[in-house]
Structure 1
Amino acid sequence: MSGEDAASLFYDEERFERTGVAPLRVQETLFGRGGVQGMDDLPHRRRKEMFLSLMSVESIARLADLSDGQWRAYATRWAKRDQVVLFDEACEILCRAVCVWAGVPLAEADVQKRTRDFVAMIEAGAAVGPRHWRGRLARNRTEGWIGGLVNQVRAQSPPSDEGDALQVIARHRDAQGRLLNSELAAVGLINLLRPTVAIAWYVTFAALALYQHPECRARLLTGEAEYREWFVQEVRRYYPFFPAVAARTRKEFDWKGYHFPHGTRVLLDLYGTDHDARLWERPDVFLPERFRHWNRSAFNFVPQGGGEHRTGHRCPGEWITIELMKGAVAFMSAGMHFDVPQQDLRINLSRIPTIPKSRFVIKQVRLNSRGERE
C-alpha cells in the first residue's frame, strides 16, 4: 500500500494489528522480542506512555546539547587526521550522547564495541546470512549488558530518584502493575539507544545533500531556523531509509475495490508515500522549500511511520531525530569546513538500510570559531 489514503487506513487500529506481525528474524535483531513495535491496544498504550514520558522538550534539548558537544569534540580530533569516514564517526557521536542522556554507563574502552553492536542490529533488520547473524549476536550481547544495568538499578536501596531513561524503564510497570522482566526492560531501553544511533544514516545523507546542493548550505549559513528544519525534513523525505512497515488485518473488509481477508499481512510503502507524485510536486527533486507549505498531515509524510505519536504507532523518537539532525546540520554547515575527496557515493536501493557506498569520506577538516548550535 502507498499514499496518504492508504497510510490513513493502515493506521486504523480497528482494522490492523501489530502483535506477532514482524518476522522473527526482525525481532531477533532490530526490534527485540516483546518490543513496543509489536504491541497493540492497552499494553501498547501503556508501554508507549513510558517512552513519551522521556520525550519532554527539556529532555530532548538536553540530548541535543550532549550531541552538539560530541560533534565539536570529534571534529577537533578530525582536524588532526588526513581524512575520516563521517558515517562511522557519527555513529560513535550518537552512541556516546544517547548513553549519557539515558544514564547508561559507557566506558571509553567500550565505545567502539557498543557502537558496532548497535549498528549491526540496525543493518541486520532485513538481512540474511552473515549480516543477520552478526546482528543476532550483537542483540544478545547488548541485551545482556543492558539487562545487567537494569538489575543493578533495581537492587539500589533506597531507589534513585533520577529520571533518566535507565531508571524510568527499570521501574516501569505494565498494564497489570507488574515490573517488566529484565529482558523486556532491556529491549525497551535498547529501543531508545539503537534508533538514536540510527540517526547516523540520516546525518550522512544530510552531509551528502550539503555536498550535492551547495545552494542549501549557503541558505543554512544565514542562520534561518525555519529553513534548517525544512532542510532536515527534506533529507528525511528524499533519501531512503527503511522502506516499509508491516501490520496484519484484524478482520475482513473491503476498501476502494480491494478485498482484505482476515489475518492478511500488509506492508505500507514509506519511501513510495514520501515520493508520491499525488502528494509531492517533483518528488524526485531535492527541494527543502516544499516544507514551507506542508500541511503537517500525519499520513502524507511518513519516514518514521504515520498516524499519531501519542496514541498510535508513529515513532515518538521522530522528535529526537529532527532535533539531533538539526544540530548536526548546523555544525556541518557553520561549525566546520571540510573537503570531500573523490569517492563512490552511489546508493544501493537493494540494501536495507542503505548508505552511500563510501559512507561519506571527508578530509581537511577545519573548525570555525563559532560552531555551536544556534
Structure 2
Amino acid sequence: MTDSTLAFLRDGYLFGTRLLDRSGADAACTRLLGRPVTVLRGVEGVRFFYEGGRFDRAGAMPMSVLAVLQDLGSVQTLEGEEHLRRKDLFLDLATGPSGAELVVAFERELLAEAESGRSRGDVRALDLFNAVLTRAVCAWAGLPVRVRQELERTDVLAQMVEAAGSFGVYNRVVRVRRRRAERMLADAVIAERAAPSAPPGSPLAVVAAYGEPDPLPPEVAAVELLNLLRPTVAVSRFLTFAVHALHRHPGWRDRIAGGDDDAVRWFANEVRRFYPFFPVVGGRATRSMQGAGLDWREGDWALLDLYATNHDPRLWSAPRRFRPQRFEGLTVEPNTLVPQGGGRYREDHRCPGEPVTVDLLDAGIRLLTRRLRYLVPEQDLRISLRRLPALPQDGMVVSGLVA
C-alpha cells in the first residue's frame, strides 16, 4: 500500500476528497506516516465513527497535534464512564447561562477594542479576534489578573491552534509555551483550592472544586482549563472567515445589517460549513467489527474527513458555493454539518463547545454588520486549501475599526 503522507501535505483539506473520489467509495485505505489508515466521509461514515463506542482517541493523533491541542489526561483522551463524567463538566460550563456570559464578555471586549482606537490602523482580523477572545475568555474563566495578562502577552492560546498544523521547530516551541501555561494554571488551581477567590460558577472555581470523586490533580485541572480557553480563541478563525464572507457577499451583509436575524444564523452556519476549519479527526477501533464496507481489527486507525463531509454534493447542493439560504427552513442533521465533529454532545466525542461557538459567531456577525465600521484594503483574499489551518492569504486585513 502506497504511503500518502506527501499527498496529504500537497493536497491539504482536499486530500480525503481526492482519495475517496478515486476509490469511488466513502471509505478508502492508505498509509500516513507509514501507518495503515482508513479515511471516511459522509453521514454513514460520521455515524459509524462516532456512535456505538466503535472508536476511541488513544493514539489516534500524531504527538505534534496532541501535545499542542489536547495533551494527556484531557477529556478528549478519555473513554467510557470517565469520559461521560468529565464531558458533563464541559457541557455545564459551555451551555446555558455560563455560555451566554461568555458571549456577553466577547461582545463587551470587541466593542471596547473598537472604541479604544487600537485597531484603527491596518490589522489582521485573525490577530484582532485572537486578542479580543483571549481577553474575553480569560475574564469569563475567572483567572487571576496576572494569569490573564501573561496569556494575553504570550498569545499562546492562539499559537496552539496555529501549531497544530505544523511540524518541526515552531511546533516544539509552542509545546514549551503550552507547558508554561499549564504550570501557571495549575498554580492558579492550587491557590483557588487553598483560598477560593474566583467568581462562583466561573470555570476556575468549578474546575478547582470538581471531583471524580477526588479532585483532579492540579496539572490535569490545568489541561482542562486550557481545553476551555484554547477552543474559544480558535473561534477567531470562524470570525475571520465571516469577515471574508461579508466582504465577498455584500448583499448578505446588507440583509443582516437591515435587521434580518434569521439570516444571521444561516450565514453563521454557512461560514462553518463552507470555510476550512479542522480537516479530519482520528480514532482507533476498539474491537474487531464490520462497517463502512470493511472488516476492522482492534486498533485499526481511522480518519473521519470533516471537510469532505461538509462539501459532499450528496448532502449539500452546489457545495463549493457560499449559499447561506440553503439553511432557510432546514433542520440540520447533526451528522451532516460537522466542522467540529459529529455524534451527540453528551454520549459521544462531539465538541461540547459547538453551541457557544455558533453563538459567538452570531454575535460577531451582528456587531460587524450593525455596530462596527471598518474598511477592507486591497489585499490577496485567496484561501489556500494546502495550508493547515487555512487562512486568507494576507490574513484578512481590516482598517479603521470604530464603533
Q: 1:350 to 1:46 in 2, by over 3 A?
A: same
Local SS of the residue matching 1:266: strand
State the match for 2:140 in structure 1. Answer: 101
The normalised TM-score by structure 2 is: 0.86
Matches within 5 A, 1:348-367: 348-367=384-403
Q: Aligned partner of 2:332: which letter?
A: R
State the match for 2:167 in structure 1. Answer: 128
The one of 162, 165, 176 aligned to 2:203: 165
Task: Give the unaligned 5+ runs of structure 2.
Answer: 1-39
Take 1:79 and 1:168, find their aligned partners in 2: how far apart are those partners? 34
Matches within 5 A, 1:127-276: 127-156=166-195, 162-174=200-212, 177-276=213-312
Measured after TM superposition, the shift of residue 310 of structure 1 is 1.5
- Contact conserved, 2:142 with 2:198, CA < 8 A, in 1? no
State the match for 1:113 in structure 2. Answer: 153
Matches within 5 A, 1:70-85: 70-78=109-117, 81-85=120-124
The normalised TM-score by structure 1 is: 0.93
Measured after TM superposition, the shift of residue 80 of structure 1 is 7.2
Structure 1 range deviating more: 219-228 or 72-81: 72-81
Question: RMSD between aligned alpha carbons?
Answer: 1.8
Q: Aligned partner of 2:259: which letter?
A: G
Local SS of the residue matching 2:52: coil
- Contact conserved, 1:94 with 1:196, CA < 8 A, in 2? yes
Local SS of the residue matching 1:13: helix
- Contact conserved, 1:18 with 1:246, CA < 8 A, in 2? yes
Do structure 1's residue 40 and structure 2's residue 79 form an aligned pair? yes
Q: 1:342 to 1:161 in 2, by over 3 A?
A: closer
Identity %: 37
Local SS of the residue matching 2:352: coil
Q: 1:151 to 1:74 in 2, by over 3 A?
A: same
Measured after TM superposition, the shift of residue 263 of structure 1 is 1.0
Take 1:243 and 1:259, find their aligned partners in 2: how far apart are those partners? 25
Local SS of the residue matching 2:103: helix
Measured after TM superposition, the shift of residue 320 of structure 1 is 1.3
Q: Aligned partner of 2:297: which letter?
A: P
- Contact conserved, 2:285 with 2:296, CA < 8 A, in 1? yes
Take 2:393 and 2:109, find their aligned partners in 1: how far apart are those partners? 25
The one of 114, 128, 135 aligned to 1:89: 128
Measured after TM superposition, the shift of residue 84 of structure 1 is 2.0
Q: Aligned partner of 1:74: which letter?
A: E
State the match for 2:27 in structure 1. Answer: none
State the match for 1:300 in structure 2. Answer: 336
1:112-156 alpha-carbon deviations (Å, 9 max, x no partner): 424x21111111223101221122012111101111101101111
Take 2:353 and 2:76, find their aligned partners in 1: how far apart are those partners? 12
1:318-360 alpha-carbon deviations (Å, 9 max, x no partner): 1111111111111111112221111122222222211112111
Q: Aligned partner of 1:365: which letter?
A: L
Q: 1:79 to 1:8 in 2, by over 3 A?
A: same
Q: 1:149 to 1:221 in 2, by over 3 A?
A: same
Q: 1:49 to 1:360 in 2, by over 3 A?
A: same
State the match for 2:3 in structure 1. Answer: none
- Contact conserved, 1:78 with 1:84, CA < 8 A, in 2? no
State the match for 1:319 in structure 2. Answer: 355
Q: Aligned partner of 1:162: which letter?
A: P
Task: Give the unaligned 5+ runs of structure 1.
Answer: 368-374
